[in-house]
Structure 1
Amino acid sequence: MRVILLPAVAASLAATPLAAQPHGLAHSANLGEQNVGDTLERDVLDVPASGAYSEIRICAWKKPVRLFDATVQFDDGSQHTLRAARQGAIIPRSGCTNWLHLGGQRTINNVHMNYWAEYFGPTRADIEVRGR
């Protein structure tokens, strides 16, 4: 009986859908993507009109990224700044920040970010901003 149960458990874990994966990306909307080099960059990510959000998270791909701050500008002209510690916060490669609360459900116009790709080299990091 144990021999049959063990392969069944392994098969169910291998077939786990994206919704159950650690990033939980299936339950959020992609608000935009940006390419980041290894020097300090100040980028503005324009968000297409796609609904209202109360939280965002920032994900890094290809390289870790050091994020210093992000300012979210809303449709009504207000803004919300999310600041990391003075030395910045590291977003690991293929990792995301926790969900960052925006203080209510509002439409986002753009996100201003100050950051850099953590390691020097020809490969640039990709940043993805998610909302829910």
Structure 2
Amino acid sequence: MALEYPEDLKYLDSHEYVRLEGEIATIGISAFAIDQLGDIVFLDLPEVGDALSKGESFGTIESVKAVEDMYAPVSGTVIERNTAILEAPEHVSEDPYGEGWFLKVRINDPDELDEALSAEEYRSQVEGE
């Protein structure tokens, strides 16, 4: 199965993605990361109102294979968390870029995404092309 990397997203080396709409960033993890992790069994996400700092861990994702930290692609304030996937984390893998998002964050500085990877750059990196 070919993994998807939507063109409208920005990606981090650590496999988080960002969809930016105005000053709201939707954050999740890439299909590649989910494929590597296997079945997702638990998510630990920050609360609404929590502050994120770019590059710092904001939570963990646990699969049958491993527990991995997730890193904030931007600094800002959590305005929404996806309670549906907290209750049923196995659904993350079904639609990572749609219903499987983790957080919505009001960002402090959109320029922080200047260093993020495009879909093509990320694909090349993870697929080793």
Q: Same fold (TM over 0.5)?
A: no
From the CA coordinates, give the structure whose radius of gyration is larger.
Answer: 1
Structure with the higher strand share, 1 or 2? 1
TM-score tier, shorter chain, comes to 0.3 to 0.5
TM-score of the aligned structures, taking structure 2 as reference length: 0.34
TM-score of the aligned structures, taking structure 1 as reference length: 0.33
